[in-house]
Structure 1
Amino acid sequence: MPQPLLSEADAKDLLRCICFKTGPPRTVGVELEWLIHDLRDPRIALSTARIEQAHAAVRALPLASALTFEPGGQLELSSLPAASLTECIESVSADLDAVRTVLRGHGLVLTGIGQDPWHPPRRMLHEPRYDAMEACLDRSGDAGRAMMCGSASIQVCLDIGHEEPGPLGYGRRWQLAHLLGAVLVAAFANSPHRQGRRTGWLSTRQFQWAALDPVRSLAPFDGRGPRDDWAAHVLDTPVMCIRDDTGPWPTPEGLTFRDWVRTGLPRPPTREDLDYHMSTLFPPVRPRGHLELRMIDAQPGDDGWMVPFAVTTALFDDPAAAETVYRAVKPLAETAGPQPAPRNPLWTNAARSGLADAELQAAAVVCFAAALEALPRIGASAALCEAVASFTDRYVARGRCPADDLLDLDLSPESPEPGLDHGKDIRP
Structure 2
Amino acid sequence: MSDAQATSAGGGVDPRAAVSEAEAEALVSGICFKTGPPRTLGVEVEWLVHELRAPRLPVPPERLEAAYAALRTMPLRSAFTVEPGGQLELSSPPAASLMECIGTVSADLDTVRAVLAEDGLRLVGVGHDPWHTPGRFLRERRYDALEACLDRSGPAGRHMMRASASVQVCVDAGHEEPGPLGHGRRWWLAHQLGAVLVAAFAHSPLVARRPSGWLSTRQLMWMEIGPGRAGAPALNGRPRTAWARHVLDAPVMCVRHDDRPWEVPDGLTFRRWVRSRRPRPPTREDLDYHLTTLFPPVRPRGHLELRMIDAQPGDDGWIVPLAVTAALFDDPQAAETVYRVVKPLAERSGPLPAPHNPLWTEAARSGLADPDLREAAVACFAAALEALPRLGATTEVMDAVAAFQDRYVRRGRCPADDLLDRLRGSEHPGSRPRSHRGTPSAHGKDIAP
CA distance in 2, matches of 1:354, 1:410: 18
Who is 2:136 aligned against?
123
| Alpha-carbon shift at residue 62 of structure 1 (Å) | 0.9
Who is 2:86 aligned against?
73
CA distance in 2, matches of 1:197, 1:245: 44
Within 5 Å, give how 1:372-411 maps onto structure 2: 372-410=385-423
CA distance in 2, matches of 1:147, 1:406: 20
Out of 309, 312, 328, the residue aligned to residue 315 of structure 1 is 328
Out of 290, 303, 306, the residue aligned to residue 316 of structure 2 is 303
CA distance in 2, matches of 1:347, 1:337: 11
Out of 105, 108, 125, the residue aligned to residue 121 of structure 2 is 108
1:284 aligned to 2:301? no
- 1:56 alignment partner AA: A
**Contact kept? 1:25, 1:317, Cα under 8 Å:** yes
**Contact kept? 2:170, 2:303, Cα under 8 Å:** yes
Out of 350, 353, 365, the residue aligned to residue 337 of structure 1 is 350
Out of 153, 156, 161, the residue aligned to residue 140 of structure 1 is 153
Over 3 Å counting, the alpha-carbon distance change for 1:364 and 1:378 in structure 2 is: same
CA distance in 1, matches of 2:109, 2:28: 34
1:99 aligned to 2:112? yes
CA distance in 1, matches of 2:89, 2:418: 24
**Contact kept? 2:38, 2:330, Cα under 8 Å:** yes
Within 5 Å, give how 1:254-265 maps onto structure 2: 254-265=267-278
CA distance in 1, matches of 2:350, 2:139: 40
Over 3 Å counting, the alpha-carbon distance change for 1:150 and 1:425 in structure 2 is: closer
**Contact kept? 2:15, 2:283, Cα under 8 Å:** no
**Contact kept? 1:160, 1:170, Cα under 8 Å:** yes
| Alpha-carbon shift at residue 223 of structure 1 (Å) | 1.8
User: SS where residue 353 of structure 1 aligns?
Assistant: helix
| Alpha-carbon shift at residue 409 of structure 1 (Å) | 1.5
CA distance in 1, matches of 2:404, 2:175: 32
CA distance in 2, matches of 1:312, 1:425: 28
Over 3 Å counting, the alpha-carbon distance change for 1:411 and 1:156 in structure 2 is: farther
CA distance in 2, matches of 1:320, 1:214: 33
Out of 54, 73, 96, the residue aligned to residue 67 of structure 2 is 54
1:220 aligned to 2:237? no
**Contact kept? 2:58, 2:134, Cα under 8 Å:** no
- 2:420 alignment partner AA: L
Q: Which 4+ stretches in 1 moved above 3 angstroms?
A: 419-422
| Alpha-carbon shift at residue 2 of structure 1 (Å) | 6.7
- 2:28 alignment partner AA: L
TM-score (norm 2): 0.91
Out of 167, 171, 176, the residue aligned to residue 163 of structure 1 is 176
**Contact kept? 2:214, 2:220, Cα under 8 Å:** yes
Who is 1:416 aligned against?
none
Q: In terms of mean alpha carbon deviation, does 374-383 or 40-49 score higher? A: 40-49
What CA deviation, in whole Å up to 9, does each residue of 1:197-240 have, x standing for no partner?
A: 11000000011011113411111115221111100000001100
| Alpha-carbon shift at residue 41 of structure 1 (Å) | 1.3
Who is 1:11 aligned against?
24
CA distance in 1, matches of 2:418, 2:227: 32
Out of 353, 370, 382, the residue aligned to residue 357 of structure 1 is 370
1:40 aligned to 2:56? no
CA distance in 2, matches of 1:252, 1:162: 38
Who is 1:415 aligned against?
none
User: SS where residue 51 of structure 1 aligns?
Assistant: helix
CA distance in 1, matches of 2:175, 2:32: 13
- 1:423 alignment partner AA: P
Over 3 Å counting, the alpha-carbon distance change for 1:157 and 1:425 in structure 2 is: farther
| Alpha-carbon shift at residue 424 of structure 1 (Å) | 4.9
Over 3 Å counting, the alpha-carbon distance change for 1:411 and 1:246 in structure 2 is: farther
User: Alpha carbon RMSD of aligned pairs, Å?
Assistant: 1.6
Q: Which runs of no fewer than 5 residues in structure 2 stay unpaired? A: 1-13, 426-431, 444-449
Who is 2:440 aligned against?
423
User: SS where residue 186 of structure 1 aligns?
Assistant: helix
CA distance in 1, matches of 2:165, 2:181: 29
Over 3 Å counting, the alpha-carbon distance change for 1:31 and 1:400 in structure 2 is: same
- 1:345 alignment partner AA: P
User: SS where residue 410 of structure 1 aligns?
Assistant: helix
| Alpha-carbon shift at residue 425 of structure 1 (Å) | 10
CA distance in 2, matches of 1:125, 1:425: 25
**Contact kept? 1:181, 1:295, Cα under 8 Å:** yes
CA distance in 2, matches of 1:69, 1:2: 26
| Alpha-carbon shift at residue 47 of structure 1 (Å) | 1.1
What CA deviation, in whole Å up to 9, does each residue of 1:44-83 have, x standing for no partner?
A: 1111111111111111111000000000000000000000
What CA deviation, in whole Å up to 9, does each residue of 1:76-97 have, x standing for no partner?
A: 0000000000001000000000
CA distance in 1, matches of 2:72, 2:162: 20
What CA deviation, in whole Å up to 9, does each residue of 1:334-353 have, x standing for no partner?
A: 11111111011100000000
User: SS where residue 169 of structure 2 aligns?
Assistant: strand
**Contact kept? 2:36, 2:173, Cα under 8 Å:** yes
**Contact kept? 1:39, 1:107, Cα under 8 Å:** yes
| Alpha-carbon shift at residue 194 of structure 1 (Å) | 0.8
**Contact kept? 1:121, 1:145, Cα under 8 Å:** no
CA distance in 2, matches of 1:40, 1:225: 51
